[in-house]
């Protein structure tokens, strides 16, 4: 399940929060932690959780999501997986193995 942020419709009623990929209308925003992040600002998403070994680190076990301008937001495992799926869908997905891609 992907949970992109959804803005209220014109009547002020909040749109549904949870939809499957096949049912949703793509939003340009995704909710990471408590922030509505524009998908086009995401530079990369870490594959492994943060570990620095510092005793007072509050980000261990979270995944770094690097944004433009050097900004960072931190996602839990579920948010990271859903963000990657939303980015894949937003970018148009990967072509199937049997599809030929004309790069010329």
pLDDT at residue number 91: 87
Q: In the numeric block, which tokens belong to residue 73?
A: 């937001």
pLDDT at residue number 25: 60
| pLDDT-derived band at 7, boundaries 50, 70, 90 | very low
| Pairwise CA distance, residues 49 & 74, whole Å | 10
pLDDT at residue number 100: 64
pLDDT at residue number 9: 41
pLDDT digits (tens, 9 = 90+) for 79-104: 999 999 999 998 886 666 666 666 66
pLDDT digits (tens, 9 = 90+) for 40-85: 999 999 999 999 999 999 999 999 999 999 999 999 999 999 999 9
Token pair 């399940």 in the structure block, residue: 1
pLDDT digits (tens, 9 = 90+) for 8-33: 444 443 444 544 545 556 689 999 98
**Residue 63 near residue 74 (C-beta atoms within 8 A):** yes
């Amino acid at each position: 399940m992907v949970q992109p942020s959804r803005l209220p419709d014109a009547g002020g009623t909040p749109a549904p929060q949870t939809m499957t990929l096949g049912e949703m209308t793509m939003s340009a925003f995704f909710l990471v932690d408590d922030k509505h992040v524009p998908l086009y600002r995401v530079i990369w998403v870490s594959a492994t959780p943060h570990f620095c070994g510092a005793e007072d680190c509050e980000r261990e076990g979270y995944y770094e999501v690097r944004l433009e301008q050097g900004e960072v937001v931190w996602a839990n495992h579920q948010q990271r997986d859903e963000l990657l799926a939303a980015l894949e869908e937003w970018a148009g997905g990967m072509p199937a193995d049997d599809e030929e891609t004309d790069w010329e």
